[in-house]
Structure 1
Amino acid sequence: MLDKIIMYLQYPFVRYALIVGVLIALCSSLLGVTLVLKRFSFIGDGLSHVAFGAMAIATVAGLTNKMVIILPVTVISAVLLLRTGQNTRIKGDAAIAMISVGALAFGYLLMNIFSTSSNLSGDVCSTLFGSTSILTLTREEVWLCAVLSAVVVVIFVLFYNKIFAVTFDEDFSRAVGTKAESYNLLIAIVIAVIIVLAMNLVGSLLISALVIFPALSAMRIFNNFKMVTVWSAILSVVCAFVGMMIAILAGTPVGSTIVAADVVAFFACFLAGSIVRGARV
């Protein structure tokens, strides 16, 4: 087994896939804790469906660089989602459902009407559940992912205290002069960037798991925000690496295998947390 892993690691496309997968997992986990605590976990699900709709438009338009449409459309949708969610007539969960279902429906409709692909079902399935395109990344795509991931990490580190304050007590943050709306907007934009990065890795329908599961797993063991964030990042990176190696060795779908690894880690943390709490009692 070890010899087989070493053999695969000699191929550049495998190394590129692992680098991108680990970076995406790291970025996804950083803001997962914030989204869970703010009860806004499904924003990832809503934005991933928007990204699917944007990808459908880019595919119909015949663009080779789909990021030109997907990234700005997803970021704009994140801003609109935040603004709509603050509307007293349309609550946050309703806004997410509205945008999510609408974007998914229009995306699939466009691909059916205008697509020239001979395997439409395969294209849609690959977009929704992840595809092997993570194993065909070019060096330029790896660098783009690395730069965007570095930006996400730097933003999180620089504004960690503000994000912490807005997460736990938004009203108090406003009272002491913190521009809570601006930081909520920043969080939404960063999540939009993460969603776009993660589409090729796990697909539109599984992105939420990449954001939520590591945070929930870390919360089973730790109560401190910083420790939960750190362990969430560690678990996410380990699960992504293990999932991708299993997928490469066993020939299973990359996205589903990574999410399965996250699910196993969650139950392991749940059992460990139960044991620790029982020992304390």
Structure 2
Amino acid sequence: MDILTLEFFQRALIGGVLIGITAPLMGLFLVLRRLSMIGDTLSHVSIAGVALGFLIGVYPVAVGLVFAIAATFAIEKLRKAYKTYAELSIAIIMSGGVALASLLFSLGKGFNVSVTGYLFGSIYTLDTIDLLLIGIVTVVVLLAIGLHAKELFLLTFDEDAAAVSGLPTRYFNFMISILTALVISVSIKIVGALLVSALLTIPAACSLVIARSFRQSIVTVVAVAELAVVAGLMTAGLWNLAPGGTVVMLLIVILLVLLSFRRKFSAG
């Protein structure tokens, strides 16, 4: 286990463990509200911001974060405009994000190799600034969920009842969207924009298989994500594999195992 003594791998583990807390937590709220595709949308928009950051010489993750937050406001606006077809807003913003990213790629051909790291993840290149940003986002997410757990629970399972009871649903909808944008923006350097939605949704899918309450779901998503992240990074480090892809494949394996066990218990 000499790899554990390497500084770059230690930073990778710290960043992975922190994202293993925040990404599945936000993903749980998205999945339960049937908004899981928002993860894909915001990650694609973030890549457009990353590309612009490289083009103008500004910290790419910061620009990606600004783009992701702007996209959340746009999604909410379009959701209000297309109330009957709320998912249309997600498709429109995703298309715009992909189109803008492709245009920026064509303008900055010299940085395409660097951007590729954000598409597929480059967790071994995390630096002190990256870890600081990930740490701040983790604290913000945990504080927000801890302070508003009851409100978020009601909003997640019955938004109409939450509105009737006087809960400022618009405020909490924006809060969930912005927190999701924060998590995705700092996650793309770890697992990559093309894989980040897996870290948001697959742990939540696992919780739907075995959890019997909302509290159990919270514990399950974090436990599954941390298991996949730590085991995935160790496996990738020892066998020289792509870390982001290894983590996601382990998540899928865990989900398949849980589903197979449920079928056996149901059959029994």
Q: TM-score, normalised by structure 1?
A: 0.90
The aligned amino acid for 2:80 is Q
The aligned amino acid for 1:126 is G
The residue number in structure 1 matching 2:97 is 103
Counterpart Cα distance in 1 of 2:11 and 2:77:
37
The residue number in structure 2 matching 1:164 is 153
The within-5 A match list for 1:15-54 is 15-54=10-49
Counterpart Cα distance in 2 of 1:173 and 1:209:
29
**In the TM superposition, what whole-angstrom CA distance separates every residue of 1:57-77 from its partner, at most 9, and x where no partner exists?**
1111122x2233221221121
The residue number in structure 1 matching 2:82 is 88
Q: Shift in Å at residue 208 of structure 1?
A: 0.7
- Kept in 2, the 8 Å contact 1:30–1:232? The answer is yes
Q: Shift in Å at residue 93 of structure 1?
A: 1.8
Across the two proteins, how many residue pairs are aligned to each other?
268
**In the TM superposition, what whole-angstrom CA distance separates every residue of 1:196-232 from its partner, at most 9, and x where no partner exists?**
0110011111111110000101111123111012111
- Kept in 2, the 8 Å contact 1:54–1:69? The answer is yes
The residue number in structure 1 matching 2:221 is 232
- SS of residue paired to 1:116: helix
The residue number in structure 2 matching 1:265 is 254
Counterpart Cα distance in 2 of 1:204 and 1:26:
18
Gaps of 5+ in 2: none
- SS of residue paired to 1:205: coil
Q: 1:77 aligns with which of 71, 74, 86?
A: 71
The residue number in structure 1 matching 2:202 is 213
Task: Give the direction of change, closer, same or farther, for the CA distance of 1:31–1:276 in structure 2 (3 Å limit).
Answer: farther
Gaps of 5+ in 1: none
- SS of residue paired to 2:50: helix
**In the TM superposition, what whole-angstrom CA distance separates every residue of 1:258-277 from its partner, at most 9, and x where no partner exists?**
10010001011112222344
Counterpart Cα distance in 2 of 1:135 and 1:88:
42
Q: 1:126 aligns with which of 89, 114, 117?
A: 117
Q: Is 94-103 or 134-143 further displaced after alignment? A: 134-143
Counterpart Cα distance in 2 of 1:13 and 1:125:
19
Counterpart Cα distance in 2 of 1:61 and 1:127:
17
Task: Give the direction of change, closer, same or farther, for the CA distance of 1:90–1:49 in structure 2 (3 Å limit).
Answer: farther
- Name the Cα RMSD after superposition: 1.6
Task: Give the direction of change, closer, same or farther, for the CA distance of 1:124–1:73 in structure 2 (3 Å limit).
Answer: closer
The residue number in structure 2 matching 1:10 is 5
Counterpart Cα distance in 1 of 2:180 and 2:40:
11
Task: Give the direction of change, closer, same or farther, for the CA distance of 1:232–1:22 in structure 2 (3 Å limit).
Answer: same
Q: Shift in Å at residue 109 of structure 1?
A: 1.7
Counterpart Cα distance in 2 of 1:114 and 1:265:
39
Q: TM-score, normalised by structure 2?
A: 0.94
- Kept in 2, the 8 Å contact 1:84–1:90? The answer is no
% same residue: 29
The residue number in structure 2 matching 1:57 is 52
Counterpart Cα distance in 2 of 1:72 and 1:48:
12
Counterpart Cα distance in 2 of 1:130 and 1:141:
13
- Kept in 2, the 8 Å contact 1:84–1:91? The answer is no
Q: Shift in Å at residue 124 of structure 1?
A: 4.6
- SS of residue paired to 2:241: coil
Q: 1:201 aligns with which of 163, 185, 190?
A: 190
